[in-house]
Amino acid sequence: VTAAAIRHEPALRFWLRYTEREGGLVEDAGDHALVLLPDELREASELPEELSVTSDPDVAREDGAMLLIPGHPALDQAARAVLAEGDAGSVYLPWPASRRPSRGTLEARARELVAVAHGRIDAAGEIAAAYLPLLRVGAMVSYAASLTLRFQEQEEAWVDARSGLVVAERVLETLAGLPHLRAPDARQRILPSDLPLALRGAHEQLEQRAQARRDTLRTKARRGLESEFARADAYYKGVLDSIDRRRASAPPDRLPLLDAQADATRAEHARRRREIEEEFDATYELRPFRLHRVHVPAYVLPVHVRRGRRTFPFELVWIAGAGEFAAICCPACGGADELVAGRERVGCAACTAGAPAHRGQPEARPEEGLRRADQPPAGAVEEARGQLAPRPPAGTVEEARRPLAPQPPGAADGPARPRPPRRVRPRPGRDAGPPRASGSGSRAGPAKAGPRKLERTGNKLAFAFWQTVADDGRWPRKKVAAHSPLAALLRLYGQAGPVCALGIRPRQWPSEVTAVTYPTGPGVPELTVGELKVLGRSYRYTLGWWLEVGRPVVAEVMPAPDPLVLALPGHGSVETEARLHERAPAPLIDLDPVAAALWKTELADTGLPFAVRCLATWWRLREAAAPNEAPPALAAAVAAAVGRAAGTRRKRAEIAASYGTSPDALDQTARALGTHLRLDRARGW
């Protein structure tokens, strides 16, 4: 009987397997196990040569077996030994049986998935099979946040062994669960690794995660810290008070002694406070214990990035099982930002930032194959056009259901890949409660149409809106509410504004849309919500709109009806989330100092929808602001007003601090702006 057969709890099972591996003998006896330890293990663990162990407290008590559960020194010792030894090696994922993709298929996928501003991707050679090396680094992180809160967590980082860039989660999901082979089952070359670079990348990832964890612990520990301070302060104050009382009635010759005592008490108080601060300062320590090089079946596609008549050679690596390209590494700086085809070279958004090419000005005619940064690659446009129906007909659901798309061109090469369904389909509003009953008597104002009519108008509006987006067209200015967040979005990103607002990559376009409209009460924007399909992924959206002189105008596009909720559970990946925060694409326009402060601070703190509301508000009242007002105070005042209207509970002092100004300056500026900062709560901006 081997230890593995024993159905003990995991810690005991681990210890038994460790013991066996170290040369011990293990005999399963049902609720306990008999163990014979080799000398070395016996010395290291200070246990007898022969013993009976269990994880069941009753068995331990009745039979005198040793209770081996987490916390037992023998277990800690075994874990330490295994960790110290590490877990390093090289494995291969099985080569897939499926046929290699054709050059045309990969070229189409490259144009669709790899964004290159101003450039077009053309396949430039034959596809070659190769193993892509990934590095998997595991580490134990020990956290300490107070004298009593100490714990360990395991972290894992995956990087591309060639570049140290993060491996996308979707890729990891598809690789998880595949068998790990000790030797390759296909004779393919292995793409060269850069281990120092890759390890640096992995280490950075681990550090970042540990730091984020530590920061949350710090925040939590603060309360403990403050109550500990309060206790210490009260104690030392009591001591000093009693010295004072004695001093009042003491004979003169005792005064120097009492003064010395008071001084010593004050010094001790200060020391204790420092000590408390140290006890509650959250810290962490990283201990790597795993390093695997995992070889993943892949295909290398040589490409040219074309800009006008110039071409730049480049290589893309297609991960066979994942349907994704490996992390694309900027050839200029090694970063992971989106690529930009410059006049002289291919770089990324980060290392070519500030170049005039990034300002969104058209620089060449489309016939030359050049595009503006906010336009999709040719393939993607064709596809979106092909799959999103021509303007959905006004009228019944039946008509809107018709699959209307013509065949997209350019699919001649290779096996056709599955396409998302080509139709625009409205959904009945069952998953968010019934629309309000028609109580026309309770509705104020002639602007509110009946709920049925509003529903139809809202759905039609949403289809027309997303159709325009899919066609890479610009939503007419007269259908945008003045000074609205949508107006601000279009100003920031041009026609890519609506997709950017949902955390979709700026050069990806919807292929399918659903819409449900919920008529609201008087004075409240109508809400039309639904889902957009983009490259097989779903993104929720909410359009805020209303009727102006009988015609609908769109005011806001957000991932959810509330600017503080960025995505509903199950929707939106980590990447989407990041694009709704600090990884939002850079604006195409220059921001004035106030707008820049709002953008930077709110993007990171609250997210894109809130930041856009702040910009809309600021751009509306900019004229009203006195020229001598300080930008940080203006930005803080705007953020405070928008926050109040959105129902956040951020304190003024906190807001002022995050803009580097004082609560007083914030108040003064807010008073100067007066009613301009009184926002409509129903709209929130």
- Note the residues at the interface with Zn ion (CB under 5 A): 330, 332-333, 335, 347-348, 351
Q: For Zn ion, which is the closer residue by CB, 105 or 163?
A: 163
Strands (E), 309-349: 310-319, 324-325, 339-341, 346-348
Count CB neighbours of 38 within 10 A: 13
Distance CA 540, CA 490 (A): 19
Q: For Zn ion, which is the closer residue by CB, 51 or 340?
A: 340
Q: For Zn ion, which is the closer residue by CB, 5 or 333?
A: 333
- DSSP string computed for 231-252: HHHHHHHHHHHHHHHHHHHS-G
* Residue 373 C-beta: closest distance to Zn ion, Å: 15
Count CB neighbours of 655 within 10 A: 23
Q: For Zn ion, which is the closer residue by CB, 161 or 348?
A: 348
* Residue 326 C-beta: closest distance to Zn ion, Å: 17
* Residue 352 C-beta: closest distance to Zn ion, Å: 7
* Residue 181 C-beta: closest distance to Zn ion, Å: 35
* Contacts of the segment 542-545: beta carbons below 8 A, 24+ positions apart: 543/458, 543/461, 543/462, 543/465, 544/683, 545/458, 545/461, 545/481
Distance CA 106, CA 120 (A): 14
* Residue 117 C-beta: closest distance to Zn ion, Å: 12
- Among left, alpha and beta (phi > 0; psi -120 to 50; other), residue 100 is beta
Q: Considering only CA atoms, which of 160, 166, 108, 180 is closest in space to residue 535?
A: 108
* Residue 342 C-beta: closest distance to Zn ion, Å: 10
Q: For Zn ion, which is the closer residue by CB, 163 or 669?
A: 163
- The answer to whether the beta carbons of residues 347 and 305 sit under 8 Å apart is no
* H-run or E-run covering 593: helix 593-605
* Residue 345 C-beta: closest distance to Zn ion, Å: 10
Q: For Zn ion, which is the closer residue by CB, 130 or 586?
A: 586
* Residue 134 C-beta: closest distance to Zn ion, Å: 22
Q: Taking the alpha carbons of 601, 607, 608, 609 in that order, is the dihedral positive or negative?
A: negative
* Residue 204 C-beta: closest distance to Zn ion, Å: 17
Q: For Zn ion, which is the closer residue by CB, 296 or 327?
A: 327
Q: For Zn ion, which is the closer residue by CB, 71 or 354?
A: 354
Tell me the one-letter amino acid at 247.
Answer: R
Q: Could you tell me how far CA 604 lies from the centroid of its own chain? A: 11
Q: For Zn ion, which is the closer residue by CB, 347 or 631?
A: 347
C-alpha Rg value of the chain to the nearest Å: 32
Distance CA 545, CA 481 (A): 8
Distance CA 130, CA 206 (A): 28
Tell me the one-letter amino acid at 451.
Answer: P
* Residue 536 C-beta: closest distance to Zn ion, Å: 29
- 3-state SS, residue 543: strand
Q: For Zn ion, which is the closer residue by CB, 506 or 519?
A: 506
Cα dist from 364 to 304, 343, 473, 493, whole Å: 19, 12, 19, 19
